[in-house]
Amino acid sequence: MSTSDMFSEFLGNLAIGNAETISLRYGELTGALNKQFRDTDSNTANTLQVGSFGRKTGINGISDLDMLYIMPKSKWDSYNKAGGQLALLQDTKDAILTRYPLTKVRVDRLVVTVTYTNFHVEVQPVFEQDDKSYKYPDTKNGGSWKITKPRAEMDAVAELDAAKNSNLRRLCKMARAWKNKHGVAMGGLLIDTLAYNFLNSTADYDTKSFLYYDYMSRDFFKYLSDLPEQSEYAAPGSRQRVRVKKKFQRKAKKAHELCLAAIEADGKSNVNDKWKKVYGRPFSTSKVTDKRASDENIFVSWRNTEEFIEDKFAVDVREILSVDCEIKQNGFRKHLLREILKNRIPLKSNKSLEFKITEISAAEPYEIYWKVLNRGAEAQKRDCIRGQIVKDTGYMRRSEQTTFQGDHVVECYCVKDGVVIAKNRIHVPITPDESDYE
């Protein structure tokens, strides 16, 4: 399969699978609000789909959706007073519940959040200004009005995408697959801003397409890894500030290295597998690899019991989750695993491991799941691949034992409203030497 075919198929796999359902929900919400504030039944008027869905940069599994409802100008005086911001959000909530009383709806600081299966919509009632910006309510500190400019952002993305041979929106989608694969806590607007800045900084891909997406991937992640650390960026078009939740340069550098390895494998049977390490399961497995695996399964004596989180939940990483591990022997803690890996100290067998969550930015309630995967010849020989995804018992910890050599992987997932919103993994490389380290 050529590079062009690989990336074309990859982008096809990223297409939003429930776009019709999302559009239906947008229409229902719009209809409920038009009925309340204008006494009309239109499901399309006075609304604007914004965020990743509106910019056409979202991918399958998108769960954080945004919608503006444009209020009648005649209602401004009713809400432009003390407590008016909260009253507007509460009236928006009541309008939705009147039409759809069984729907889960709550008022947040800036929006009304409507939760469905596998995604939620943040509805923001706004007043349109003469310059096509919008005033929206902020209930913090007694209430105030803020300005948002989503049309300027959508127009800027559309214009540069057209100027760059449709490469901007595709790059935004590919970057989302990367952040979901590697648990990079980045919001959609930040991803789109960084992809916009990258393509705006070079003419190398102005006329290129899928055939050059291997090089575009390489250069994009090199660009990200070389960016200076900063707390925010200016969004395209609106120039409004986009916050950085957590530094991404280290993971981008790793992605750049993986891209170099994948490019080196061009024309070989394992090239798809190399790109899967960058972009995850949406990147198709090589047909040759599939056939070889099928043939080899006739002879193997071990069972492939690995499960994949994408088969159980939608994945839309946007929060921070960090995991570390205490290594103990005879009940005494000796080291943290990440310290050992950083200092290249060999990890021997016959140790007790306690994995624990050290940082999580998601707001409760949520559920935690773990996956422990054994890899390598010894795991296969023992028929002990494992890899099942199991729910946390309530302590946000997982106890294991180093029993045999090989590369072992522990993954942790934070699931909220049926969506994986944060994930982290840690490798456990156990060396064959049975002697203890000091």
For range 356-382, the mean pLDDT: 86
Residue ranges of the chain assigned to CATH 3.30.460.90: 18-148
The pLDDT score that the predictor gives to residue 298 is 43
* CA dist., res. 414 & res. 359, Å (int): 11
Per cent of the chain over pLDDT 90 is 77
Cβ atoms 420, 314 nearer than 8 A: yes
Q: Please give the DSSP secondary-structure letter assigned to residue 186.
A: -
432 falls in which pLDDT band (50, 70, 90)?
Answer: low
* CA dist., res. 240 & res. 232, Å (int): 10
438 falls in which pLDDT band (50, 70, 90)?
Answer: very low
The pLDDT score that the predictor gives to residue 437 is 29
Ranges 10-14, 42-46, 105-109, 374-378: which has the least confidence: 374-378
For range 42-66, the mean pLDDT: 96
- For 300-430, CATH number out of 3.10.110.10, 2.60.40.10, 1.10.275.10, 2.40.50.140 equals 2.60.40.10
The pLDDT score that the predictor gives to residue 286 is 75
Q: What is the CATH number of domain 18-148?
A: 3.30.460.90
For range 173-185, the mean pLDDT: 97
* CA dist., res. 168 & res. 166, Å (int): 6
Cβ atoms 249, 225 nearer than 8 A: yes
**Mean pLDDT score of the chain:** 90
Residue ranges of the chain assigned to CATH 2.60.40.10: 300-430
* Residue 438 burial by Cβ neighbours in a 10 Å radius (0-12, 13-18, 19+): exposed
436 falls in which pLDDT band (50, 70, 90)?
Answer: very low
Per cent of the chain over pLDDT 70 is 89
54 falls in which pLDDT band (50, 70, 90)?
Answer: very high
Helix locations, 297-436, DSSP H: 337-342, 377-381
The pLDDT score that the predictor gives to residue 100 is 94
Cβ atoms 221, 12 nearer than 8 A: no
The pLDDT score that the predictor gives to residue 253 is 98
Q: pLDDT per residue over 247-286, tens digit each?
A: 999 999 999 999 999 999 999 999 999 999 999 999 988 7
The pLDDT score that the predictor gives to residue 328 is 76
pLDDT reading at 236 higher than 60: yes
**3-class SS at 61?**
coil
406 falls in which pLDDT band (50, 70, 90)?
Answer: low
For range 17-32, the mean pLDDT: 96
435 falls in which pLDDT band (50, 70, 90)?
Answer: very low
335 falls in which pLDDT band (50, 70, 90)?
Answer: confident
Would strands 314-315 and 397-401 be described as parallel, antiparallel, or unpaired?
A: unpaired
